[in-house]
Amino acid sequence: MVIISGGDEYSPFTSKFYSKEALAEYLGDSVNENEPVLEYLFEKYNRATPRDVRRYDIIFYGVTGYTGKLVLEYLRDVYAKKPTEFTFALGGRTESKVAAAQDAILKGTPFADAPIVTAQLDKPYTVKQLVNSCRTVVNLAGPFMTTGGEVLAEACVIYECDYCDVNGELPYTYNLTRLHDRARHNRVRLVPNSAFAGGFADIAAFAAVRKLKEKHNKPARSCTGYIEQSISELAGPSGGTLATRAAMANAPDSVKQIMADPFGLGGRVSGNRPEDSDKTLSTVAKDEVGWLAPFNYAFLDTRVVRRANVMHQLMGGGLYGPVFNHQEYILCPTEEIAQEIKKRAGSTKKEEEDLKAKGRYFAQGQGPSMEEMKGSWIRYTTVARTEDKEQVKLVFNFDVEAYYATAQITTEVAICLAMARDQLPYAGKGGVLSPSVACGQMLVDRLLANGMSVSVE
Ligand SMILES: NC(=O)c1ccc[n+]([C@@H]2O[C@H](COP(=O)([O-])OP(=O)(O)OC[C@H]3O[C@@H](n4cnc5c(N)ncnc54)[C@H](OP(=O)(O)O)[C@@H]3O)[C@@H](O)[C@H]2O)c1
């Protein structure tokens, strides 16, 4: 079992914070006089604020974007009724844009005057100020591969602030895994993929494997996720998602190699098993649940769950089995539909043409409205199986589209981290963790209390 970690060498924040440019910006012209002395002063006046006296439980960074605004809608819809449950500030890189989003969505609610905090990801001092004023940061600024959010994540490790984000980009999560050892040492939880893509498969697998253990008292040999979605005619990808897909498509070969590794985020099971290969995820097949077609996000979700397997074991949970396998597909009513989905899978050109023809090719910052997404739903079936073929089947339902589910998941992860640190699984331990490893059953329960439902079959 292998996990990825970059030791002390990976330092996106530190290398910027102690750069001559940053020193010059913070200390002015005197920077050329005596660098060691200035570095000393820089350190001295930039100490971490103790966690328990920080101003906010949570800062939501990037609320000006499409997903960020859905987070504001979720806060309005669910937490405006219980405004004292946690304290928060709204963050972004431009104060006036954050204020406009707040005014548009939170006016007339108890959050109309929630404080605003600005930081620029390429200005490390502002990042440090932001991190130092809260106990948990939610990063909603993407595409993650191009915004430099790694700076924010390393600052969280250094200043002992928990972190989650909505990224659905394996290369970004991979970069964060290089901070794992330091996060573990500082007992900080970095929780990338706290979103529908990358995160929900993990939450569902955790719940199913846990049920399997309860029922049969045996470890899981495998877990398969089956997704069905109905999206309304006017729903579709946001401009931010389209920009993210372009960033992934343009990634250099070295990054594509990591993306093509079934254990690219760690958790490798020994032996070269066909069941772990991406070929298995790319074919049309039939199993006892139905016809299966390739699912684009399976190439991220399977990696997240495979890492979660090893993390649960290393942190003392040992929930999954040592030879555990995870797979994920789109569940289809017929073979013809499965073949059609396979034909379209990965064709960004065709998708672009279709969206443009419908006038739904959104620019960054835009996407379908909540009204346009009405009627969308997601059904996610997870089957966990033992070596002896006993199984548990859980069927999760959301009456919303994946973007709103993402807003819900990331907010609930942040609340778990900020408000219940001592009651979370593996209390006192940190690292780069999936949502299920970081928040366990508490997260499942919070999602069930706020709109998601589940049935056991
Ligand atoms: N995993 C999932 O299921 C899932 C679901 C939804 C979204 N996402 C991901 O979330 C990200 C955002 O998507 P979106 O549709 O909300 O995009 P968007 O509408 O374009 O919003 C992007 C946000 O990021 C901020 N931003 C961009 N570049 C930045 C930089 N260099 N420094 C600081 N902030 C920066 C923007 O701030 P300004 O307003 O100041 O430009 C804005 O707040 C994408 O990466 C998307 O793939 C993932």
141 C-alpha to ligand 1 centroid (Å):
4
Contact between residue 198 and residue 304 where contact means Cβ atoms under 8 Å apart: yes
135 C-alpha to ligand 1 centroid (Å):
22
Atom of ligand 1 nearest to the CA of 65: 21
3-state secondary structure of 446: helix
Whether residue 238 has its Cβ less than 6 Å from ligand 1: yes
Distances (CA, A) of 55 to 52, 115, 146, 345: 9, 10, 29, 46
Residue 453 binned pLDDT confidence (cut-offs 50, 70, 90):
very high
Q: What percent of the chain has pLDDT over 90?
A: 78
Residue-averaged pLDDT of the chain: 92
Q: For residue range 323-336, list pLDDT tens digits in order.
A: 999 999 999 999 99
380 C-alpha to ligand 1 centroid (Å):
25
First to last CA, the chain: 32
Q: For residue range 318-374, list pLDDT tens digits in order.
A: 888 889 999 999 999 999 999 999 988 767 777 888 889 888 999 999 999 888 888
Q: Name which of 9, 30, 31, 16 is nearest 125 in CA terms.
A: 16
Whether residue 68 has its Cβ less than 6 Å from ligand 1: yes
Whether residue 236 has its Cβ less than 6 Å from ligand 1: no
Gap between the Cα atoms of 56 and 220, Å rounded? 40
Q: For residue range 70-101, list pLDDT tens digits in order.
A: 999 999 999 999 988 999 999 999 999 999 99
Closest residue by CA, ligand 1 atom 21 = 65
143 C-alpha to ligand 1 centroid (Å):
6
65 C-alpha to ligand 1 centroid (Å):
5
Task: Catalogue the E-assigned strands of 318-421.
Answer: 320-332, 377-385, 391-398
- What is residue 41's predicted lDDT score, i.e. its pLDDT? 61
**What kind of architecture, by CATH, is found in domain 12-191?**
3-Layer(aba) Sandwich (3.40)
Helices 66-74, 239-249: inter-axial angle, 10-degree rounding: 130
Half-sphere exposure of 164 (CA within 13 A, CB side): 32
Closest residue by CA, ligand 1 atom 13 = 240
Q: For residue range 190-248, list pLDDT tens digits in order.
A: 999 999 999 999 999 999 999 999 999 999 999 999 999 987 777 889 999 999 988 99
Report the pLDDT averaged over residues 434-442: 98
Closest residue by CA, ligand 1 atom 25 = 141
Whether residue 168 has its Cβ less than 6 Å from ligand 1: yes
243 C-alpha to ligand 1 centroid (Å):
9
